[in-house]
Structure 1
Amino acid sequence: MSEYPYPSDWDLAWLASDRSNYLAAFITAGSGPIPISLLPQLNRYEASENLEYLMLQLPIVSEACLLVTVPTPDSYIELARRGLYVFDLNDVHRTTAYSYAYEAVAAPTFPIRATSLSGKLARTASEQNLAKVRFDENRLIDISSYLDCSSS
């Protein structure tokens, strides 16, 4: 159990790397599983501490392939254009039988690797490594199967 509360109802993004060292942004939809080790940073409110803000500061290096149809895909596209795979909580429209899995919603045509990062993003990607997963091969990821997580 973490001493930091789960940020319920906050649609946050966090970062992880896969076994090939590629990167993905995971969007919580306010209730998706978050690695417990990230809770201290996600409970800070300064923009400079916000992982999504930092990811959006990365240079545009790719085109984005949208994998789902949604009314406003802008945030998915912007993250994928920075070379990140993008996963969003699969349960966002469910009222029962929650899976707490993340669904692939966008992919970059030219993905970047964790070695291209520095600072906080590099540390986060290294600490949240999904060594048994490849983001380009998985449409659905149950994060709690790989990392110690908290959810709302």
Structure 2
Amino acid sequence: MDNQLVPSTSKANSQTIQISWSPPHHGVVKINFDGSVRGTSGAGVVIRDHLGNHICSRSFNIDTSTPLIAEATTLRNGLLFARSHTFSHIFIEGDNLLIINILQGKTQCPWKIQLLLEDIRELLRLSLPSNPGTSIERAI
């Protein structure tokens, strides 16, 4: 895996932050997802194996004006994409702390994304009947 050095955008606190991708365990695929709203909204999903090999990826436009809905929609679409490839052991990683905390049962779901989160939970249940311990984490 390549590490990437990204300079801080703050001029007052100019520092370099090391960003790296951490692989999942052997036999597990990692789904990284990210949604964005900047004028238009878009999304991306990347699925890699435990060696960091690219398995598949997808980008798509989504019709929303809020980052929270963009992130939740991206995760749902990513799970639909993964399900079409019949993966049974997955590790989900995204940068939206609220969505990760909701899925980990640490916080309540806002009404704006309640239906999307119900879809996500159902996709996790249907796709992974033998793997109730699907890992879901936040990457920054």
Report the TM-score, using the length of structure 1 for normalisation: 0.25
TM-score (ref. length: structure 2): 0.27
Instruction: Between the two structures, name the one with larger relative contact order (CA 8 Å, sep ≥ 6).
Output: 1
More helix by share: 2
